[in-house]
Every structure is written in structure tokens, then in C-alpha cells.
Amino acid sequence: MNKVVAAVTGVGVVASCGIGKKAFWDGLLATPPDGERRITDWDPSPWFESPKDARRSDRFSQFAIAATHEAIEQAGGLHSKPEDVAVSYGSGIGGLSTLEHQVTVCYDKGEKRVSPFLVPMMMANAAGASVSLRFGAQGPCEAIVTACAAGTHSIGRALDWIRLGKAETVIAGSSESALTPTGIAGFNNMTALSKSGHSMPFDANRDGFVIAEGGATLILERLDVAEARGADILALVIGSASTADSHHITAPSPEGSGAIRCVNLALEDAGVTAADVKHINAHGTSTPLNDKAEAKAMAAVFGDDIPAITSTKGVTGHALGAAGAIEAAAVVLSMQNRMMPPTAGLNEVDSDMPQMDIVREAREWEPGVTISNSFGFGGHNGTIVMAPYSG
């Protein structure tokens, strides 16, 4: 690893299986429910000054604020000057619930009843902008909108900024809340959602993804800066890559060509080889085409020695643009807890896929180099490479 790397010094999570990183980790090891993974007990009030303040933030922005608050608290605050703190925060869809509600208001009650907060609440960069405003980050603040790869791309962008000297500290992550009637109908009518209500990554009987919501934030600091202040370094982000399939607006390239290039480029960027990788956090959505293409891609990269694979979407469901950040948080926690989380919902591995070591039950491990994959509608591919900190 001869390039500048980023230290992860804080993690925050809001997910259907747990709010807060401890509850989230416990949830990853528990039996998941059936059906959509909605956060049913969400109360934004602990992170906002007043109910009015909370109402002026779309739900996806509320998730971002809560996750970032937890991450910064673990990091012990933001230790760089405000102009050296950046925000790289993604979403696949943005404030869909606000948009859907205000469209109804417009048609039912007239244009003058539309909220003046519609635009700042619905825009896809609202979460990142809200994080920047709340926590005083004055460096670059950008929103990555690459469908289900947004969270992974946001973390990759954060690493780039640190390497280029554009920031010492980056608040990186993504959030999503698209479980609205219209959003669900859209995914359902394109036959993307599971009819059985089960998330079954890589299973022979998988029939689509289970939609979810949530968000996660990682605090990334330039490694030498984090070491100089004596930070508790949780993990390292050592490489990333981004490619496009140029194949289809929703379906992945069948042989995983874009994913193969993405993983290989990420390994090259990290200065490691395929043989160094000990764990793969798969995109693993539970859709027939995606899982098969990802499995073929992993076989092409790793040959007959594919590292242990986990898809946490068996528990979390698919949180769309938030997925990559939530899964990066899972990788950090797996290193901290020295445990690979299981792939819930997997009963019978699809025999039409390459042979893989899929983690079915929580497995103790000696943390090592891990890749986390995300593949989004539009052919967007993202991979980040993470490693334990040896100090």
C-alpha cells in the first residue's frame, strides 16, 4: 500500500435491523422479518432542535443527520479546520416522500398550497447539504446519485479527495427513503421486487429484492492526521474504482464484464492482489440476473479461490442508494467484532452459479483485506477496498 489511505474513525447507522451501530450489528446476526424493511419506530426528534425543524427535512435527510451524529460522536468530533472537512453523501432517489406528498397537495388543493420547502427537501443533494450545514463542514460538499452504487461511490470519492489534498476529513455515506406507494409500485411493476417477500441472495429460488430504507455514515481521515491525534482507528479504506457496463438501463452485463473491471481496478488502486482478499461483501440483491452476474464476475477475478462471501441484504433488504454505505459500515463492524455476518435467507445455492464459499452462519475470522461491491441501475459499478488497521 504505497498510496495515501483513509482511516475510518467513526461509524453511524440507521437501518431496518437496528438504529445505531450496536443495534445494527446485533440485527445482522438475528433472523430477519419477511417483507419490506421499513424503519417502523423512527423518531427524528433526538437529532433536531424542534419538531418543526425535523418536519423541514425529508426522511432520507433525517437518516443522514442521525447516522452522521453517531459517527462524529465516535470519532470524538471533527478535528480538522472547517474548510478541510468535506462531505461526500449519496442517494439514489432523494426526497421521494416529500415529492409524492406535495404532488398530491398540488392536484388536490392547488398550486399555492405547495410547500415552499418542497425543493430543498426533495433534491437529491439535500442530505449532504444538511450534513454540511449541521456540522459546519466547509470543504467540498457533493452528492453522488448513481442508483444503488451511490454509497460506495461516495466513499470512493472521499478517498480521492483525501489523496488529492482537497480534504483532511470527509463525512462520507448515503441515505435513502423511497418506500412510498408510488416508489414501491414502480419497482413492483418492473418486476424487481420479491413476490414472496423473502430476501434470498444467491439462492436458487430468489425472486427479486426486498426494498428497504436507511442510511450510514463513515468518518474518513487522512491516516497520518488520524494517527497524529491518537485516534481510535477502526479500519482503513485503501482503494476504490468505478466503471460502467454500457449494457442496459436496469439489467447488469450478463457476464459481469463491468464488475470484473471495477474489482480489478479497485485492487490495483489499493496496491493489493486478488490473493490478498479474505472477504467479499457482495452486492447480492437477491435478483436472478444481478446475483448471477456478480457470481460470474467474482469467479473471473478470483478463479477457483473465491474468498468468503457475505450479502447482508438477506437481513437489511435492499436500501437502494443507501446500500453501499450501510454495507461499508457492516465491513468495519465485522473487523471490529472479528466476525463475518451471515447471508440470511440462503437455503439452496443456485447451481447455475460458480461454486462459492458463501457465509451462511456468523463466522469468526482474522480480519483481512475486504472488498465491498455495489452495482446500480444504469450500469453503475462501484467497489471499495478496506483493510484492518494494524497500527
Residues with catalytic function: 148, 283, 318
- Give the residue carrying C-alpha cell 461511490: 153
In whole angstroms, give the CA distance from residue 149 to residue 152: 6
In whole angstroms, give the CA distance from residue 80 to residue 197: 45
- Nearest CA-CA partner of 297 in 310, 287, 283, 311: 283
In whole angstroms, give the CA distance from residue 289 to residue 30: 27
Q: Half-sphere exposure of residue 230, counting CA atoms within 13 Å on the CB side? A: 0
How many other CB atoms sit within 10 Å of the CB of residue 115? 16
- Give the residue carrying C-alpha cell 445482522: 28
The β-bridge partners of 214 are 15, 176
Cβ-proximal residues to 244 (8 Å cutoff; 6+ apart), any chain? 258, 378, 379, 380, 381
Provide the pairing of β-strand 85-90 with 141-142: parallel
Helix or strand run (H / E) with residue 269? helix 257-270
User: Are 356 and 295 a contacting pair, CB within 8 Å?
Assistant: yes
